[in-house]
Amino acid sequence: MPCLLNCADNEERLAKLLANAELFSPHKQQSMAGLEVGFDMNTDEGHEGYMQQWRKDKIVSWSADEISLLNQAHGIGQAKNLFPALRKKRKSTQKLTRKARKKNR
């Protein structure tokens, strides 16, 4: 069996892989980002503190266009800006709801 960790090439390769943040899972990326900022990610308080700070920073960085697109994707806001297929689906759903209310009177 070839040597895995004893060879200098494999040690360098392993070091490069461990240093590549793109290969981390989302949870590991979040933990590493919290550690870089200075939060103790080993405790619940540190993790929650980092998440609160991250949310604040994320909300501040959103533009009005991004917020309106998010609202439209979740069915909040005006229907006129939606894609035609979504607008048609929403209109038919509203029509069926109206018919059901009239029928139940």
Q: What pTM, to 2 d.p., does this model score?
A: 0.43
Q: Are residues 78 and 52 in the same domain?
A: no
Q: Are residues 69 and 54 in the same domain?
A: no
Q: In this model, does residue 1 exceed pLDDT 50? A: no
Q: Are residues 5 and 35 in the same domain?
A: yes
Confidence band, pLDDT 50/70/90 cuts, at residue 70: low
Q: Are residues 7 and 56 in the same domain?
A: yes
Distance CA 75, CA 2 (A): 58
Distance CA 35, CA 50 (A): 9
Q: Are residues 24 and 68 in the same domain?
A: no
Contact call for residues 22 and 33 (beta carbons, < 8 A): no
Q: Are residues 57 and 70 in the same domain?
A: no
Pair of tokens at residue 62: 């959103």
Q: Which domain holds residue 94?
A: 64-105
Q: Are residues 33 and 55 in the same domain?
A: yes
Work out how many domains the chain is built from and give that number.
2
Q: In this model, does residue 78 exceed pLDDT 60? A: no
Residues 13-18 have a mean pLDDT of 82
Q: Are residues 56 and 12 in the same domain?
A: yes
Q: In this model, does residue 35 exceed pLDDT 80? A: yes
Contact call for residues 35 and 50 (beta carbons, < 8 A): no
Q: Are residues 39 and 16 in the same domain?
A: yes
Residue-averaged pLDDT of the chain: 77
Distance CA 27, CA 54 (A): 14
Q: Are residues 55 and 72 in the same domain?
A: no
